[in-house]
Structure 1
Amino acid sequence: MSSNYHLNDGSSRQPRMEIQQSWWAMIGLGENGREWTMEEKFEKIAEAGFTGISATMPSEQDYAQWHSLLDKHQFSFSTIAFPANVKDMLDTLETAKQFGRVQYINSQVMDAFVIGDEAVQLLEGLLDASSEAGIPQFIETHRGRITQDLLRTTDYVRALPQLKLIIDLSHYIVGGELDGNHSRAEAEFDVLLQRTAGIHGRISNGEQVQVDMASGAHPMVNHFKRWWRKGMQNWYANAVPGDILSFIPELGPPGYAITRLVEDGREVETTDRWQEALLLKQIAEELWEEVVAEAASQQTIR
């Protein structure tokens, strides 16, 4: 059986971070009351300097359009799956091969009521299937999934050395009503961050899964920056030439986004979700530069 538990492009390039944009996070975005078209969304993502897109698999009839736009903008593409069993993963892998350009699979494994040994066996089977197919698969830390809570997910990590994670700690902060200052939670986060394969950028607090970042001034921003930086450091310390770390701003539309009702009864978002995505991208780039520079300085000292 092949071993394919990390993302590598086969090149001799320095390990690097790529920042894709979530296609789900583009829902409803536009100007002057009109949502951007598919082509306009691609243009906006390209103009902002993203390297690719993360999305669920397109319908087969849309393959040609997706291929054309991905090629036009020289974008990478990662996909999101929701497997409940190994057959689901095999079907996803077959579809990914038909589509032809899937960089990796981000799995939100169903569901929150699968626990203990059953969960470990399911995760192992999913990872074996994707490794055999030669397409990396990473498991997202997500509420309502097999990774429902922090403690059970650290158990899975300890049981499965090949398990690599798409880190989205926003789910555990809101799910556990945490404020970023809980020492026990911090120790468990450290376990997960050792397995960082990618990061989803979203800021939550103990009550809301997606908060207004207030241009970076929200008190939770520094906590998330600290966690993301630690995940990047852990990944970089073990990276080899050609390895790629994924960072994806993932700010959801309503009802992730906070909304208010206006006089005509419409529900409008209280933040500029696109501008906040660009801020998350900027934060990730700054953290990455710090991590690389720190690693270089330590090499020099040695």
Structure 2
Amino acid sequence: MRNILTVILILILGNIYAQDQKLQFFQTNWGNTLSWDAFCERTKKSGFDGIDVWLPADTESQKALRTALKKHGLLLNLMHGTNKNIPFKQSLAQFEEKLKVLTQWNPVLVNCHTGSDFFTQEQNQAFIKIANKISKESGIPVYHETHRGRFSYTLPNTKKYVSAIPDLKLTLDISHWMVVHESLLEGQDENLREIVDHSHHIHARVGHAEGPQVNDPEAPEWKKALDRHLDIWEQIICKRWSEGQQTVTITSEFGPPAYLPALPYTQIPVADQWKANVFIMNALKKRMKIQ
């Protein structure tokens, strides 16, 4: 009788725990031409929990952003990056100064395009070290995106940094590596495991062997690529949930032309960027059985 009661209790507690596990989805404003109010209104109506943006430079736009976020009840992720076009020391100082400003907005997280593929490992690690320090001081998570042109431009290179910096926290945008390695990384699950373990945020865009973005993730010809990305994203979500992180954050990040293929001369997009981002959000909800 006692064993039966124990099993029932485990099932009940497991169900309660599962109910606490959730995903938060963020819509990118990449390519957006709407006002902050109109963009946030559309984002909310589409079912997103927040937006993922580069902080506007002028104070009027910043004020409009704050107003729109509050009005529509949306969360905020902020983007940050290393300026690769100025000398290293100047870039490092600029990176630190701007990151401190961003954390004062109290975003859910800051996602960084960190370092440069032309910097040395020591130089790139200096950016990561500063980011980790500011993150610890502010309490704002700062994650480093796997991205072409940065320290994390390839899977093997990123593994070097993970080995050197055990507390390195990544945003996984696996679409970049699909094109860099000209494959869907089949047969690389063992190499990916360590990256999954260090991934705390997801940029959900479907890439392929010849580009960082399929033209339309709903098209049947991209099902293999879509399923491969969903499999990897699911691993990250389950890893974070298993470690007690109840909420996993995801940015739907299909971009505008030229990431989104367009017809020659007219530059008319061959698909709908907004629709693609809503689709990928719903595909992940379905995969993870989230209402």
- TM-score scaled to structure 2, two decimals? 0.83
- Aligned match of 2:165 in 144, 157, 160? 160
1:82-116: CA deviations, max 9, x gaps? Answer: 13554234322332255x33221101012111233
Q: Give me the whole-angstrom Cα distance separating, in 1, the residues matched to 2:176 and 2:53.
A: 19
SS in 2 for 1:210: coil
SS in 2 for 1:259: coil
SS in 1 for 2:218: helix
Indicate yes or no: 2:256 matched with 1:253.
yes
Conserved in 1, the CA contact under 8 Å of 2:168 and 2:198?
A: yes
Q: Give me the whole-angstrom Cα distance separating, in 2, the residues matched to 1:189 and 1:39.
A: 39
Conserved in 2, the CA contact under 8 Å of 1:196 and 1:234?
A: no
Q: Give me the whole-angstrom Cα distance separating, in 2, the residues matched to 1:200 and 1:254.
A: 18
Conserved in 2, the CA contact under 8 Å of 1:89 and 1:130?
A: no
Conserved in 1, the CA contact under 8 Å of 2:114 and 2:124?
A: no
Conserved in 2, the CA contact under 8 Å of 1:195 and 1:235?
A: no
Structure 1 letter corresponding to 2:209 = G
1:200-228: CA deviations, max 9, x gaps? Answer: 11111110111123515312111111101
1:18-59: CA deviations, max 9, x gaps? Answer: 0010111x53xxxxxxx5443322221110110000101122
Indicate yes or no: 2:133 matched with 1:128.
yes
Unpaired runs of at least 5, structure 2? 1-18, 84-90
Tell me the C-alpha RMSD between the 2 structures. 2.1
SS in 1 for 2:136: helix
Structure 2 letter corresponding to 1:69 = A
Equivalent residue number for residue 227 of structure 2: 222
How far has the Cα of 1:77 moved from its partner?
0.4
Structure 1 letter corresponding to 2:99 = L
Equivalent residue number for residue 52 of structure 2: 54
How far has the Cα of 1:79 moved from its partner?
0.5
Equivalent residue number for residue 213 of structure 1: 216
Equivalent pairs counted in the alignment come to: 263
Equivalent residue number for residue 200 of structure 1: 203
Residues 86 and 134 of structure 1: CA distance in aligned 2, closer, same or farther (over 3 Å): farther
Conserved in 1, the CA contact under 8 Å of 2:205 and 2:254?
A: yes
Residues 93 and 119 of structure 1: CA distance in aligned 2, closer, same or farther (over 3 Å): closer
SS in 2 for 1:101: coil
Equivalent residue number for residue 64 of structure 2: 65
SS in 2 for 1:106: strand
Residues 97 and 156 of structure 1: CA distance in aligned 2, closer, same or farther (over 3 Å): closer
Q: Give me the whole-angstrom Cα distance separating, in 2, the residues matched to 1:101 and 1:138.
A: 15
Percent identity of equivalent pairs:
21
Instruction: Point out the more displaced range, 43-52 or 110-119.
Output: 110-119
Residues 246 and 278 of structure 1: CA distance in aligned 2, closer, same or farther (over 3 Å): same
SS in 2 for 1:49: coil
Structure-to-structure mapping, 1:4-15, within 5 angstroms: 14-15=20-21
Higher relative contact order (CA 8 A, sep 6+): 1
Q: Give me the whole-angstrom Cα distance separating, in 2, the residues matched to 1:72 and 1:232.
A: 30
1:47-76: CA deviations, max 9, x gaps? Answer: 011000010112223222111110011111
Residues 69 and 154 of structure 1: CA distance in aligned 2, closer, same or farther (over 3 Å): same
Indicate yes or no: 2:151 matched with 1:146.
yes
Equivalent residue number for residue 274 of structure 1: 274
Structure-to-structure mapping, 1:173-188, within 5 angstroms: 173-181=178-186, 183=187, 185-188=188-191
Structure 2 letter corresponding to 1:186 = D
SS in 2 for 1:112: coil
Conserved in 1, the CA contact under 8 Å of 2:182 and 2:210?
A: yes
